[in-house]
Structure formats: C-alpha cells, structure tokens
C-alpha cells in the first residue's frame, strides 16, 4: 500500500499534477471534503477499515463530494468487481499492476471530462441567471405598462385617487383567502393569483371612452347617461382585444384583464351588466373584482356621495351575498375583512 501510494504519487507529480495522498478510507473522506475539493480521486479497492466501495458510497452520498470523479485501482480481476464499482458511481477502473501510460491517459481523460462538465455547469448557471433577470425585467415592464395605462384612464376620473392600488390589494387578498376553497382551488393557483393581481388595475380602463360630462357629473346620472356609462365595461375589453390583434399575440394576464374589464359589473343573480350573466357563467376573476370594486366605492369619497365606514360597508357587502356577489366569495371577504381594512388604510386617499 505505501509503495503503491509512492509510485502513483511520483508518477502523477511528474506529469504536473498536484497530489495529496491518503493512507486510509477515513483520510480520503476528510480530504474529499476540504476546500478546494479534489478534481479527481484515485481510490484503491483494498484498504484497511473502510474498503474502496464503502468510501465511494460515502463520497456519492455527500453533496460536497458527490460530483468528484473516482477512478478505482484494484488487483481484483473479476469482471463482477468492476461492474459493482461502476454501478456505485465510479468513473473508471484501472487494474494493477500500475501501467504509467494507462494511468496518465485515464487521469487526463477524466480531468478533461470534469472540466467540460464544470464549464457547462457555469454556462447553465449564467444562462439561468440571465433568464431570471430577463423575466424580472419583463414582469417589471408589464407592471409599469399596466399601471401607466390605468393611471392614464384614471386622469379622466380624478376622484378615484388610490383606488387602483387598493383594489389590486383587495383582489390579491381575496384570491389568496379563497385559494383552498373546494370551488376555487383548481382555478386560484399561485400563478393565476399573480396574473389576476397584475391585471386588476385595468378593470376600469374603458372609462377613458366615456364623455367628461358623464364621467365627472357631480350629481345622479339620468337613465340615458347611465346607459352610456355602462358601456365602459365593453369599451375596456374591446381595447385590450384590439391591442392583442395589433401585435398578433396574447398573454395570460391580458385574458384575465379582458375578463375583469368586461364582466366586473355582472351580479350573481343576473342583474348586472353588460350581459346580465348569472352565477358560474361569470368568470371567477370578474366575481372577485366585483366585490373589491364595490367595497372600495363604498368606503371612498365621491362627488355624489360621502364615504361610509368599514363596518357599514361590510354589512352592505354581506347583504349582497347571493344576489350581487357569489356567496362563497362574500364569505371569503368576511373572513379577510381585517386585511381589507389594512389595505384601505395604507392606500387611503389624501384629505
């Protein structure tokens, strides 16, 4: 054993390699987990205490040494021994007596393969990092674009204030509260909730097409004016759909944006607009947006009404359970009312 270590060490050092010799399996395991870790391990099968197979098994089980290639050195000439070592994860198998040319060729081949694997791992890590950065930039671009469009529409209706941020928070909170409910668990996945939250500010984008004399009227609208006001729902979804056609592409968050823009004024009992949809025919996204929008309208100052307090607003929402609102969504609102209050307080309109 010491003679073999000396011969092997001299051979590898003479070829320009840095060598650390271990005279037992336990020492080999210690060296393998040092920093920097070895690029290659030449492991004798026959060793005291721990044999080569046991050492290899432990090397492969430890995260810090699992990827280090191992070449077995052995005097055993049974093909089954070689097969067993390879099954355990050995990269190669060299029979004794040591032949210098064979050892150097096998060592060079394994080191070259490891360099290639390391290079690929570095490239993959770099690419994953770049993809992550690009995805983050795309999400930021989407969020900024959505909010810019929503704020542009909001300038037509200056009394809405922080309405966009509040309703966005309500939608996220309500969706998260309902995600484990049997009726909604298949729909309200984490990705769906993220996209729904992102698209929520576009729910009233159609108001940009409503005349100022109606949109900013301080008093009650006439029947004719109200019919014009109701067209903002379809105007919003049509605008998003036209944009999709122009770029000849679609995106999941735009599909949800169209849903909430078009149907967030529908009512559970069929008494809403623009189509009078009823019950489950109304998309889940629009049902959630409907409650968030009404709650915020109730607690907010408008030219035609003063705000009401949280308790009274909650009572009105629950009175609409099964009529205006999906009963289970109304129950979810009652369960997370404190979160609604915190969002409303954080993003309250300036006095």
Question: DSSP for 7-39?
Answer: HHHHHHHHTT------SSHHHHHHHHTSSSPPS
State the pLDDT at residue 153.
67
Q: How many CA atoms lie within 13 A of 88 on its CB side?
A: 24
- Classify residue 149: in a domain, yes or no: no
State the pLDDT at residue 280.
97
Whether 98 and 172 map to the same domain: the answer is: no
| Pairwise CA distance, residues 327 & 294, whole Å | 15
State the pLDDT at residue 160.
58
- Classify residue 104: in a domain, yes or no: yes
Q: Is the pLDDT score of 79 beyond 70?
A: no
Q: Is the pLDDT score of 144 beyond 70?
A: no
| Total structural domains within the chain | 2
Mean pLDDT of the 241-260 span:
80
Mean pLDDT of the 10-38 span:
85
State the pLDDT at residue 157.
64
Tell me the pLDDT tens digit for each residue of 203-217. Answer: 998 988 899 888 888
Domain containing 284 equals 155-346
Q: Which of 76, 109, 126 represents a domain boundary (last residue)?
A: 126
- Classify residue 147: in a domain, yes or no: no
Mean pLDDT of the 131-154 span:
70
Phi and psi, residue 156, nearest 5°: -75, -20
Whether 117 and 177 map to the same domain: the answer is: no
SS3 content of the chain, % helix, strand, coil (to 5): 65, 5, 30
| Nearest 10 degrees: Cα torsion 314, 316, 318, 321 | -150
State the pLDDT at residue 2.
62
- Classify residue 141: in a domain, yes or no: no
Whether 111 and 214 map to the same domain: the answer is: no
State the pLDDT at residue 285.
97
State the pLDDT at residue 155.
66
Whether 161 and 122 map to the same domain: the answer is: no
Highest mean pLDDT among 16-20, 70-74, 148-152, 191-195: 191-195
Whether 209 and 337 map to the same domain: the answer is: yes
State the pLDDT at residue 152.
66
Percentage of the chain modeled with pLDDT above 90: 39
Tell me the pLDDT tens digit for each residue of 274-325. Answer: 999 999 999 999 999 999 999 999 999 877 788 999 999 999 999 999 999 9
Q: Is the pLDDT score of 136 beyond 70?
A: yes
- Classify residue 145: in a domain, yes or no: no
pLDDT band at 28 (very low <50, low <70, confident <90, very high): confident
| Summary mean pLDDT of the chain | 87
Whether 326 and 187 map to the same domain: the answer is: yes
Which has the higher per-residue pLDDT, 188 or 51?
A: 188
Whether 105 and 162 map to the same domain: the answer is: no
State the pLDDT at residue 25.
83
State the pLDDT at residue 1.
54
Mean pLDDT of the 126-137 span:
79
State the pLDDT at residue 151.
65
- Classify residue 134: in a domain, yes or no: no
- Classify residue 245: in a domain, yes or no: yes
Which has the higher per-residue pLDDT, 242 or 135?
A: 242
Which has the higher per-residue pLDDT, 130 or 141?
A: 130
pLDDT band at 103 (very low <50, low <70, confident <90, very high): confident
State the pLDDT at residue 278.
97
pLDDT band at 9 (very low <50, low <70, confident <90, very high): confident
Q: Which of 88, 105, 126 represents a domain boundary (last residue)?
A: 126
- Classify residue 317: in a domain, yes or no: yes
**Could you tell me the CATH number of the domain that includes residue 314?**
1.10.3210.10
What per-residue string of b and e applies to 251-273 under the rule 16 or more CB within 10 Å gives b?
Answer: eebbbbbbbbbbbbbbbbeeebb
Query: Chain-centre distance of CA 47, in angstroms?
Result: 49
């Amino acid at each position: 054993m010491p003679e073999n270590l000396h011969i092997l060490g001299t051979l590898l050092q003479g070829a320009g390699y840095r060598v650390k010799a271990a005279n037992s399996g336990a020492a080999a395991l210690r060296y393998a987990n040092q920093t920097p870790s070895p690029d290659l391990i030449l492991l004798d099968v026959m060793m005291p205490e721990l044999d080569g197979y046991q050492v290899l098994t432990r090397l492969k089980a430890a995260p810090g040494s699992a990827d280090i290639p191992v070449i077995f050195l052995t005097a055993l000439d049974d093909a089954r021994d070689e097969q067993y070592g390879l099954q355990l994860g050995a990269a190669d198998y060299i029979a004794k007596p040591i032949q210098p040319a064979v050892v150097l060729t096998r060592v060079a081949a394994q080191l070259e393969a490891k360099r290639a694997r390391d290079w690929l791992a570095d490239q993959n890590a770099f690419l994953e990092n770049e993809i992550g950065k690009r995805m983050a930039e795309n999400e930021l671009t989407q969020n900024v674009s959505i909010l810019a469009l929503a704020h542009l529409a909001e300038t037509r209706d200056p009394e809405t204030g922080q309405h966009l941020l509040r309703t966005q928070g309500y939608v996220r909170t309500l969706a998260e509260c309902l995600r484990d409910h049997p009726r909604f668990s298949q729909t309200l996945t984490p990705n769906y909730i993220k996209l729904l939250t992102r698209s929520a500010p576009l729910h009233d984008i159609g108001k940009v097409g409503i005349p100022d004399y109606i949109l900013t009227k301080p008093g009650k609208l006439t029947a004719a004016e109200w019919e014009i006001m109701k067209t903002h729902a379809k105007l919003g979804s049509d605008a998003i759909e036209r944009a999709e056609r122009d770029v000849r592409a679609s995106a999941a968050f735009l599909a949800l944006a169209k849903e909430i823009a078009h149907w967030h004024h529908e009512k559970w009992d069929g008494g809403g607009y623009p189509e009078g949809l009823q019950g489950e025919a109304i998309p889940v996204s629009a049902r959630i947006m409907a409650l968030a929008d009404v709650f915020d309208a109730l607690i907010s100052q408008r030219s035609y009404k003063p705000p009401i307090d949280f308790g009274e607003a909650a009572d009105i929402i629950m009175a609409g359970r099964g009529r205006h609102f999906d009963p289970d969504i109304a129950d979810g609102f009652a369960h997370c009312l404190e979160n609604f209050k915190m969002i409303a307080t954080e993003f309250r309109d300036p006095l």
